[in-house]
A = this chain, B = another copy of it.
């Protein structure tokens, strides 16, 4: 089968690879119909993800059709239309029992990382019963690809951890796909203000269209001052970090109101400065989280009832044999204005 393979630092190829097989009774093989590329895939190619070794088929998002199941799979059968979670969950370990699927002792984020992923014609899904979700007939596949990772990540790590409330004031630092996913899902809770902060005016334009009540281009280094001015010097109830570098996290520290929350989504490669000398008495919380995808069933319901339109995030579409073009487009988002690209397998 065709598959996008990580070859070496900065190198990838669309290769021919053997179709995966069931290796454990709880596995399923899924024929991919649609997948996508994540910012994390770009990080892997840059060598930022030590656990992912050359030779790996990338990709941890997608929808497809069940091609075969192991003897221990009871929820799914051949021909089922399914959504793939980016996180595999055994449903049995200490962490799964606490709904912390991200830390499943035999799962977590392994797809396209420590085992082969979804940017291929077929993928093996371990712990299939707790890692796949049935798609009702007649549902739009493309929209659901956004539920594999990006929407639950924005929602769980940003919105839920950030305790967004009716009437509250939210700032989201980073208006890339993940920040926009937080923006879309924050609106489930009817905050009064959502301030979107980024360096790219195009992305801020998109944010406006997606529901941001105001935007700040932070390239002048004065975003903190701008937020404080907008909030009568009070700061924001929730500051969501959706970039993953020290400057953006430290911006969140400056704008969080007393009693507020900093919800980190960004993948950080280095330490940040935590200014406890000003924050120790401000009654704030800071949270980190690798998405658990426990909200996929809830998100399904919000999609079906049209409380959210995940397709807003999709800007480009490619066939699997053009996936290198898709990477090109996604990797140059500032020029191509790409958010999420759909790969049709």
Chain A residues in contact with chain B, CB under 8 A? 25-26, 71-72, 74-75, 90-92, 94-100, 102-103, 129-130, 165-168, 187-193, 213, 244, 249, 258-259, 264, 266-277, 279-290, 292, 294, 297-302, 304-305, 307-308
In the A-B complex, list the 9 residue pairs whose CB atoms are closest, starting with the nearest.
Answer: A167-B301, A72-B72, A192-B305, A281-B290, A268-B276, A274-B274, A91-B91, A188-B190, A166-B188
Q: Which residue in chain B gives the minimum CB-CB distance to A192?
A: B305
Complex CA–CA separation, A102 to B284 (angstroms):
12
Given the contacts A274-B274, A307-B190, A299 and B259 also touching, CB distance less than 8 Å: no
Complex CA–CA separation, A46 to B289 (angstroms):
39
**Which one, B26, B187, B244, B270, contacts A72 given CB within 8 A?**
B26
B276 contacts A273, CB within 8 Å? no
B300 contacts A167, CB within 8 Å? yes
A192 contacts B258, CB within 8 Å? no
B288 contacts A276, CB within 8 Å? yes
Q: Return chain B residues, CB-CB under 8 Å to A266.
A: 276, 280
B74 contacts A307, CB within 8 Å? no
**Which one, B167, B267, B298, contacts A305 given CB within 8 A?**
B167
A271 contacts B269, CB within 8 Å? no
A189 contacts B189, CB within 8 Å? yes
B192 contacts A307, CB within 8 Å? yes
Q: Return chain B residues, CB-CB under 8 Å to A292.
A: 283
Q: Which residue in chain B gives the minimum CB-CB distance to A187?
A: B190
A71 contacts B25, CB within 8 Å? yes
B283 contacts A285, CB within 8 Å? no
A100 contacts B305, CB within 8 Å? no
B97 contacts A297, CB within 8 Å? yes
Q: Return chain B residues, CB-CB under 8 Å to A286.
A: 274, 285-287
**Which one, B91, B100, B244, B284, contacts A287 given CB within 8 A?**
B284
A270 contacts B264, CB within 8 Å? no
**Which one, B95, B168, B193, contacts A258 given CB within 8 A?**
B95
